[in-house]
Structure 1
Amino acid sequence: MGKKRNILVLLVLLALLALPGGCKGKEEAPGEIPVEAEGPAPEEPAVPEEEPETEVPEEVPPQEVQQEETAPQGINPLTGRRIREEAAVRRPVGVMVNNLKAAMPQSGLAQADIVYETLVEGGITRLYAVFQDFDAPKIGPVRSARHYYLDFAAEHDALYVHYGLSPQARTAIKERKAPSLNGLSYLDEILCFRDRARKAPHDKYTSQQGIMAAWEKVGYRKEPDREGKFLFSPEGPTAGAAAGRVDLGYSNYAKPWFTFDKESGTYLRFQYGAPQIDKETGGQLAYENVLVQFAGMWTIKGDAAGRMDMELTGTGQGWHISNGFAVPITWSRKSRQDPTLFFLADGRPLVMREGKTWINVFPKNRKDMVRFEP
């Protein structure tokens, strides 16, 4: 009986195992594996969610660099350097600036690309400052025009901004149909303003905003009619007469000089025994190039004020001073409307160093008053 009972119990257990519900608990266990696998599942999309966050800032800098590289730029015909394209394709502007000791310190010259200096009556000099890309809020003091400064303006197809004019300048502007902006006219309040801290006649100034407003009022052409007359390279001369200092004795009154600053590679301007400073920047005027152009000059016969005239066409001699060296040059100009061309002694065109230039148109009968020191 005991053996039969054991067999019966074994059969009952086997029958229970064969029932459909008998394995339910064991069949659900494998079903828990996906549930356990879902635990780290949110971490899988977390990886791609983090990747875009790191990729976005990595993509921004290349876009910004690309915008800078493709920003419109042009070449300044007065310096050979890059400037805004809008300014590069606009004709330049020149301003007649007072250069008397009582007018110091002047304003705005630091933004000029080229400055012409030559004699007017009484042994004094005046400046014609030429601007291409500028935003100067104050330029001056502005003084009256002289007819031969129209030749400097024509060199670059530039406007001539002035306050008043000589009889000869009035005639020349009319005959040559020169683009002048005269502050001593209906343009006064548009073009100029008075600095009440200065005494007349050293109190009249202009600005970039005033020049552009007067230009718009008059309606002169804004597109240049010629390319820049200068040739440039980054280096400049590497040999020549030593020119650590350049003295220019225009007269007993006007005795400016330049000294070469090796650190900046520029010529620093001095006059009246002191550095020539731009009041608006507080910095000394500095130039990569100094040109000396010798020209015939004389007092106009019968002119009560002793006004002058000069020969700025034909040919002549001069100096190019840069990088601590002075190199002899020649110049040639066909007519007063053509640009003056400069050449080396062997006839090759002069190539100047990229940057700003001060041009001294100097009396040829005083050549020995241009002196160099190492």
Structure 2
Amino acid sequence: MRHRRHLSSPRAIVATLAAATLLLAGCSGGDDPAPSASAPSEPTSSETTEAPPEPTYWPLTGLERKGDAPRHPVVVTKVDNTSSSAPQVGLGSADLVVEELVEGGYTRLAAFYYSKVPAAIGPVRSMRASDIGIVPPGATVVTSGAAPVTINRINGAGIPWITEGEAGVYRETSRSAPYNLFARLGDISKRLKAEEEPPPYLPWGDEADLPKGAKASTLTADFGAHSTSWQFQQGGYVNTDSYAAEGDQFPADSVLVLRVRVGDAGYRDPAGYPVPETKFEGKGAALLFHGGRVVKGTWTKDGLTGEIELSTKGGDLTVPAGHVWVELVPAVNGNVTFAK
């Protein structure tokens, strides 16, 4: 808040001048009365009105925030993204979603919650080492666990996590394991306390700042065994092959595709597939889909915990404020197609 400057009182100044004038007149012996002082002016509105507070913005959407920030940290929930997960619950309340590669060419979702927390989310699945570069600083992960080597790396990165056996994580009896683990995020968030407000996850900006780009009303991100397709409809993007419950799909205003390097996590899953690890650091090609158009650029990230930066040949690239689905598509063995 801007503080008002303290100015000297106009009445005190006038009184001092008048006294000085009378003193000079007395010393000179003249009979002329001292000139009358004009009435002091009232303080102007600029002197009495405080400047309005600076606006604040949600870190996961870039939208303006009214009121105080939540007391809880960002809660990232790992959600299954196969046909066995249908219907997924809680995606419609997410601020932001990141889709990442897992074993066998399938994908898993990291759903971010901060401005809104749903009553339930699921099916909840396990973490991967890839999440070290995806989860923002200070966030807590809700997960079904992970392989011991992954847990050691997640703990080494200082990322707190919550799993089955802790309050708010439960089995949905109407579903089959392992696709029946759910979490009551409302209950979980109440017992979590944030030390500070999280930084912006993406470089946010305004739609007017976007380069024109090319027309692109449809796009498909291909991870191998799974593809995610989007169609631009009524100002937003609809996931045409979503497993989300009806009326609970993620409301994507933009889709951000980042081509990433993928390595070997060093172990195999129970089915014998090698577990991949997304290396979300360094740089790669970027495609920003917004408003039925696509802008080509480059992303950079200084280390796994660095900030995501975007640019084009013309300079910095910002993402229009809103809900964004991020596709981390492998630079090798992955593909992205789009059409007018």
Q: Does 1:177 align with 2:161?
A: no
Over 3 Å counting, the alpha-carbon distance change for 1:175 and 1:250 in structure 2 is: same
In the TM superposition, residue 322 of structure 1 has moved relative to its aligned partner by 0.6
Q: Which structure has the bigger radius of gyration?
A: 1
Greater mean alpha carbon deviation, residues 71-80 or residues 118-127: 71-80
| Equivalent-residue separation in structure 2 for 1:71 and 1:340 (angstroms) | 28
Q: Deviations over 1:67-86 (max 9, x none)?
A: xxx99984211112234533
Q: Secondary structure at the match of 2:262?
A: strand
Q: Does 1:193 align with 2:161?
A: no
The answer for unaligned runs of 5 or more in structure 1 is 1-69
Partner of residue 245 from structure 1, selected from 218, 241, 244: 218
In the TM superposition, residue 91 of structure 1 has moved relative to its aligned partner by 3.1
Q: Does 1:350 align with 2:331?
A: no
Amino acid at match of 2:216: A
Partner of residue 167 from structure 1, selected from 148, 170, 191: 148
| Equivalent-residue separation in structure 2 for 1:73 and 1:199 (angstroms) | 47
Greater mean alpha carbon deviation, residues 145-154 or residues 237-246: 237-246
Q: Which has a greater percent of helix? A: 1
Over 3 Å counting, the alpha-carbon distance change for 1:201 and 1:133 in structure 2 is: same
TM-score, normalisation: structure 1? 0.70
Q: Deviations over 1:121-174 (max 9, x none)?
A: 1111000001111131111110111111121113x5422111111233211122
Amino acid at match of 1:210: D
Superposition map of 1:1-374 within 5 A: 74-87=56-69, 90-154=72-136, 157-181=138-162, 183-184=163-164, 186-187=165-166, 190-213=167-190, 215=192, 221-224=194-197, 226-235=199-208, 237=210, 239-251=212-224, 253-261=225-233, 263=234, 265-271=235-241, 276=242, 278-279=244-245, 282-301=247-266, 303=268, 304-346=272-314, 348-366=315-333, 369-374=335-340
In the TM superposition, residue 245 of structure 1 has moved relative to its aligned partner by 0.4
Amino acid at match of 1:266: G
Over 3 Å counting, the alpha-carbon distance change for 1:365 and 1:305 in structure 2 is: closer
2:18 equivalent in structure 1: none
Higher relative contact order (Cα pairs below 8 Å, separated by 6+ residues)? 2
In the TM superposition, residue 277 of structure 1 has moved relative to its aligned partner by 5.7
Greater mean alpha carbon deviation, residues 92-101 or residues 234-243: 234-243
Amino acid at match of 1:365: V
| Equivalent-residue separation in structure 2 for 1:298 and 1:361 (angstroms) | 13
In the TM superposition, residue 200 of structure 1 has moved relative to its aligned partner by 0.8
The answer for unaligned runs of 5 or more in structure 2 is 1-51
Q: Deviations over 1:270-307 (max 9, x none)?
A: 22xxxx2642x625433111111111113345535411
| Equivalent-residue separation in structure 2 for 1:159 and 1:335 (angstroms) | 20
Please tell me whether the aligned partners of residues 78 and 113 of structure 1 are also in contact (alpha carbons under 8 angstroms): yes
Q: Secondary structure at the match of 2:176?
A: coil
Q: Secondary structure at the match of 2:68?
A: helix
Paired-residue identity, %: 23
